[in-house]
A and B are shown apart, each in its own frame.
Chain A
Amino acid sequence: MENLSKEIREAVKKLFEEDKVDLVIGFENGSLPLKATPCFIRNIDDIDRLVWNSRCENNLAVYLTKNKGKIGIVAKGCDSRAIVGLMQENQIDRENLVIIGIPCGGMVDQKKIEKSLQEKEPLEVKENHDSLVIKGNGFEETLKISDILYDNCMSCKHRNPVIHDVLIGEPVEEQDDVDEFAGVKAFEEKSSDERWDHFVKQGEKCIRCYACRNACPFCFCEECSVDSSQPQWFGKSIALSDTQVFHLMRSFHIAGRCVDCGACVRACPMDVDLRFFNKKIEKDVRELFSHEAGIDPEAAPPLNTYNTDDYDDFIKS
């Protein structure tokens, strides 16, 4: 990890020296032992703040639609997929963007760690190649990274950046034999009552803080339909039906665009199971339109285009 951090710093240094960037978006150590946090580097003297580890979990592509100028961005597999998706939607000034790709071993799930530590608080964390050594008051625990990854990382098919201008470190092995839709298939098997029940339970947990939406690189609309008051499409309170409609709307709006980076799931303070909505829609889009989001910059997202032979069985005469 130290080596990769160093390599990132060197790459960024070069970019500043060659005047290719005014701003680099990467990660630095956070304020809590387990956290890394997004950082904005504007000055070559600050590059030593940049780090890389298994806690660099945010999808930094979310910042690309909010910043202008010559930008460098540290991109793991899913950030790079989001960048490709944004390119498809003409949201990226590619000429002024330097993608510093970094092959990713997966990000550790803060909630899984919390669970395995029970109520003990981590005070110090050391990351080795494949494990985290967590120390706290009177305890030391070693957790294997591959056991505590986020669910989406456990089934991630593109850990290596799908696009990059600079590559840090060595490519990692892809998880070709994992079934990324195993969870969705199991869910599809359930009765409609059980599925509805799950949807209700998730809706009841939601406080409509919109962290999921705001963490998502594809939720870049200037005015989200839930915020609109003229006309007002949605009730604004946490009445269950309004919350559910918000989630339906968001899932459908990211259909064929969501790259399963997990940013929304990580951002949610209330542990709402957002992935089950999005992954199901991803599977449908894959089956119906043979489209995988965030892979080919030249491809058009299926809901932005049409073909005369598109699936139309749902149109009943």
Chain B
Amino acid sequence: MKEMIIKKDALMNLLTGRADDCQVFAPVEVEGSLVIKEIQPGDEITISSMNTKASIKETFFPQRERLFSYDLSKPGEMKEPPFSDRKRIVFGIRPCDAKSLTVFDCVFKGKDYPDPYYIDKRDNTIVIAVGCNEPSTTCFCSDTGAGPFSTDGADLLLVDLDGSYLVRVVTEKGESFVNENTAFTEAGQQQAETRDAIVDKATKAVHAQVNPDKVKKKLDDGFDSNVWDIIHEKCIGCGTCTYLCPTCHCFDIVDETTGTTGERLRIWDSCMYPFFTLHASGGNPRKTGKERMRQRVMHKFKYFVDNNEMVACTGCGRCVKYCPVNLDIREILKQIEVS
């Protein structure tokens, strides 16, 4: 893999200087929390050892997305939002979030249901991820097929070498970005060695905790297992885990109208909500927390694997960290493994 070097301040200048001809999204501190947002003049990009609270999902699959608008007084007329060719750069996300884009690609860019809204954003975006020199105790990305320096889903992967970044060029899109900018120079032998040491240390820091292959085997005939009776007990059925999760992609479609005009919106939904599967008849196939938790786990670690040969979890640890009752997905998987 081709590797380049760029000074940190040169890269920051390059990113903030681009804001006119393209949108740049990066982590910024807002009221004490790290969030990914479109950079405005004066914003300071912050790369910290902590991951952002919300994932990159919003940037490709917004929580509230207009599909089209209409006016009932003009039957048959629908206005789609403008699809633009405006280039976008996503900078500073972690490899677990970059990896989540490969999960989204299966859903929204697959051959069955190509989704123009997603594809427009995805194809116009260059993803520049930054590897994790200091993984957190909640990270388990190495178990889910990614890792603190995984290049999956990224166009460029950066390794933090203190004053500069070593840039791994992953895709052609990444390659042309690097070629367009003279601030990138070829990496040397010594930098490659430093990179090895950092990658090695970080990779060792992410301890193996769950084994998705073993879990999958249990799940294959575990639909009626009694492990589901207890696992969900303390869950309060909020949407925190699914809304913060970079891979959860279930949605609802609603209309919002004022007078004769209206918009059809796609909004996030969550399998942890009882109303997610409520039928118009009043019946509900997932009546209790038990069925809902089973669905969340099955979807991530069995159905998605059956359909796409990858787990729908990148091991980012957000659900681990922010679940209000500390219902840790790793513990759930361990319990399933030994069930």
Contact = CB atoms under 8 A, between A and B. Distances in A.
Given A58-B325, A119-B50, A238-B63, A209 B240 contact: yes
B331 interface: yes
Interface string B46-69: 001110011000000001100000
B240 A236 contact: no
Pick from A31, A58, A207, A271 the residue with the most CB of B within 10 Å: A31
Interface of B: 31-33, 48-50, 53-54, 63-64, 136-138, 230, 233-234, 236-240, 243-244, 252, 254, 256, 265, 267, 270, 273, 275, 320-322, 324-328, 330-331
Interface in A25-47: 30-33, 35-40
Pick from B54, B136, B236, B244 the residue with the most CB of A within 10 Å: B236
17 contacts: A31-B328, A33-B137, A58-B325, A62-B236, A119-B50, A121-B137, A123-B137, A207-B243, A210-B239, A214-B237, A215-B238, A236-B252, A238-B64, A267-B324, A269-B53, A269-B240, A269-B324
Given A32-B320, A119-B48, A270-B33, A207 B54 contact: yes
Interface bin, chain A: 35 or more
A121 B50 CA distance: 10
Interface string A219-251: 000000001010000011111000000000000
A239 B322 CA distance: 23
Interface in A252-309: 266-267, 269-271
Interface of A: 30-33, 35-40, 58, 62-63, 115, 119, 121, 123, 201, 205, 207-211, 213-215, 227, 229, 235-239, 266-267, 269-271
A58 B324 contact: yes
Contacts of A267: 236, 238, 240, 324
Given A62-B236, A227-B275, A31 B326 contact: yes
A270 B265 contact: no
Contact of B238 (A40, A58, A63, A210): A210
A26 B136 CA distance: 28
Contact of B326 (A30, A63, A209): A30
